[in-house]
Structure 1
């Protein structure tokens, strides 16, 4: 969000470490959601909450990947502007689009909470919720990103050129196409939280709704109550970098918080949910019990095979002894017959 970008090795180091942690956290978040999807999405509210979390994680993960690509493009082609401009334009478009998608999916979570809190008698179908969610979550960012590049690329004012693969400020102020929607969504989420808290203090969250929907709404409220001020603080510091881009303290704090957004989403968006933790515990316990059963079955099979082999060995010994006895009996009788013949 800074209007002026100057090289700083300290900021680069913090950025790469933070973005690496963020990307790893988002991958873990998606793996957890895949593992516990069925037990935690049994009602429409929980289903849409986890759809929002998954799309927030996917959008931020792809945006971070493109952020790294954009930084690599600048470092690799710094002295060749004809090479980096097309590549930077593509990277900037995708960074802009997916970062905005993250914010708009956070808006979907807030609107879902508002819907379950205020309109307790309304029951929207899952298909309608998904249609609204994907239309707002990806449709609105796509429109903003396309309009921005279409209106500024022809005049050469879409990207910062050699400074960074990001929206221009000095020539066309294209950066406002990201700053205004992001800060507007943070403000809307704050207002939604105020309305929800007011309703909770008066009559609780959805007293007439089902227990599962009420619990899901409470989880959404706790998640937004943590992430919205956190993201508001983060992007509020971004405004400080726009006003005073020379202030290194604000830059460091902004980069530190902003690069760890994926870690915050994992902690407060996924692991905050008691049902997610319970589903994970159940899944790991079932895996442990199945492995124990497998080991027990294999040991029983080994013991059975050992006892079977011992029994077969005993049977062979018995047959051998019986054969020896039967062989000995005829020879003894023949000897006795010979002796009686000689005596006669």
Structure 2
């Protein structure tokens, strides 16, 4: 390696020693050229394991531009030409694929470590170490800027699960270094291999969990609960279709039932997409694009459920406050309702996916089909609107009850026309009575979503078991 890499600069054995002080300073005492030694001062590295990997990264940038292949028992060192694309299979342990390279012919250095997983800690961004390095550590050092690289690792222990694509970040934990998943995403996990896609190059590997908790009883409860919910919603829609002609004459009743139909329809479609997303998440072969699509529609229709409840509450408030005014026409209120019920969720869901999907931070790690929390906090795009609507609806409920208690209907002939108010109040009480369970369900649904942040495989929307549509 010494003669092939540095034929003119080095005429003596290569020894690299670095002394680290308590103040995290780095001083070089080495027989390597001054240019190589200068890299020791570029970054403050406190961990000896991290500094070892950093030394290999430095060496990979100093190898002369020529094809090179040095296989050993523990390290495979290769340097190859890099043209328009690159594909390489290294010891059948790691496969590297770079579909496109900009610029003229250059070189790429690949160093494959057979035992670096025994040297580097499993520390992650949050300073946790609950996972295990379950693939070879591969150092990829091209002479060109690469923003699309796919690595396929052969897993070491096939009893582990929940793979996570990571790279070694020397800056984590105040210079100690750690594994980070920023810019990397899981492509698939099948046939004892894990494929990752990243938008940069450095030292890569995969982390996997020694405990893959899966309870068939919880899965059974989840699907039975969702089935009960969907069956109840279908019955609700059938009843609405039967009585639809009878409620079209009264404007308030018509608009109220439009809200009820759209609430039931949004929840039914969200349940269907939930089942699709659960099937994608549980599949052995992961499909991130399909999981992203399922997450988008789940997010959109659950938001539509809440925004239609908001539209129903605003209708209740409007009809309670403006009893005698001509006010808005039925068509105008329908337009406002549909814009609020579907327009606002569409805007929120679209902005969320547009902001987080390019950085692979839209869905959860391991291709769990729900909004990401750890990296991008995309889950807030659901929790914040849902909680705000619940609070607004409770405020509307208080205002309506206050107006109803203060309203008085006189017995005089001059006030006989106000008997119509009793009809409005009757419908208001009916709507109010039917909206209270929807508030409870709103809190329950938000709680379930928050719970999914911690245990996405065990919570699994168990609230569907206890929910029978309030309609």
Q: Which runs of 5+ in 1 are unaligned?
A: 270-344
Tell me how far apart the structure 2 counterparts of residues 149 and 217 of structure 1 sit (CA, whole Å): 38
Q: In structure 1, what is the equivalent of residue 237 of structure 2?
A: 30
The answer to whether the 8 A contact 1:105-1:137 is kept is: yes
Give the 4+ runs in structure 1 shifted more than 6 A. Answer: none
Supply the distance in 2 between the matched residues of 1:260 and 1:22 (Cα, whole angstroms).
9
Q: CA deviation at 1:135?
A: 0.3
Whole-Å separation in 2 of the counterparts to 1:98 and 1:236: 17
Q: Which has the higher helix share?
A: 1
Of the candidates 329, 336, 340, which is equivalent to residue 136 of structure 1? 340
Instruction: Work out which of the residue numbers 195, 214, 217 in structure 1 matches 2:428.
Output: 217
Is 2:288–2:367's contact at 8 Å kept on the other side of the alignment? no
Q: Give the direction of change, closer, same or farther, for the CA distance of 1:117–1:23 in structure 2 (3 Å limit).
A: same
Assess if the C-alpha contact under 8 Å between 1:120 and 1:208 holds in 2: no
Q: Which one of 251, 276, 281 corresponds to residue 69 of structure 1?
A: 276
Q: Secondary structure at the match of 1:166?
A: strand
Distance in 2 between residues matched to 1:37 and 1:172, nearest whole Å = 44
**2:448–2:461 contact (8 Å) kept in structure 1:** no
Which structure would you say has the larger Rg?
1
Q: Provide Cα deviations, 1:128-176, integer angstroms capped at 9, x if missing partner.
A: 0100000000000000000000000000000114252111111101111
Q: What residue number does 2:304 align with?
A: 101
- Aligned residue number for residue 88 of structure 1: 291
CA distance in 2 between counterparts of 1:158 and 1:111 reads 32
1:7 aligns with 2:214: yes
Matched, 1:146 2:364: no
1:55 lines up with 2:258 in the alignment:
no
Change (3 A) 1:122 1:161: farther
Contact 1:19 1:260 in 2 (8 A): no
Consecutive unaligned residues in structure 2, runs of 5 or more:
1-161, 163-211, 410-416
Higher strand share: 2
Q: Is the counterpart of residue 257 in structure 1 residue 463 in structure 2?
A: yes
TM-score (norm 2): 0.50
Q: 1:177 aligns with which of 381, 405, 415?
A: 381
CA pair 207-14 structure 1, distance change in 2 beyond 3 A: farther
SS of the aligned residue for 1:165 comes to strand
Question: 1:6 and 1:44 mapped to 2: Cα distance?
Answer: 53
CA distance in structure 1 between the partners assigned to 2:279 and 2:273 by the alignment: 10
How many angstroms does 1:185 deviate by?
A: 0.8
Whether the 8 Å contact between 2:356 and 2:376 is mirrored in structure 1 is: yes
Aligned to 2:314: 111
2:324 is matched with 121
Do the aligned residues in 1 keep the contact of 2:307 with 2:389 (CA within 8 Å)? yes
Distance 1:141 1:50 in 2: 20
Q: For each residue in 1:234-287, what CA deviation from the matched residue of structure 2 results, as whole angstroms up to 9, or x when unmatched?
A: 434654x268x3699xx76x94434544x2x2xx32xxxxxxxxxxxxxxxxxx
**Cα displacement (A) at 1:120:** 1.7
Change over 3 Å in CA distance of 1:133–1:53 after alignment to 2: same
Aligned residues: 253
Q: Is the 8 A contact 1:14 1:255 kept in 2?
A: no
Match of 1:162 in 2: 366
- Quote how far apart the aligned CAs of 1:38 are: 1.1
Aligned-partner Cα distance in 2 for 1:127–1:118:
20
Q: Which structure exhibits the higher relative contact order, with contacts defined as CA atoms closer than 8 Å and separated by 6 or more residues?
A: 1
Q: 1:186 to 1:27 in 2, by over 3 A?
A: same
Change (3 A) 1:163 1:87: closer
Deviation of residue 204 (structure 1)? 6.6
The Cα RMSD (Å) is 2.8
Partner of 1:67, secondary structure, is helix
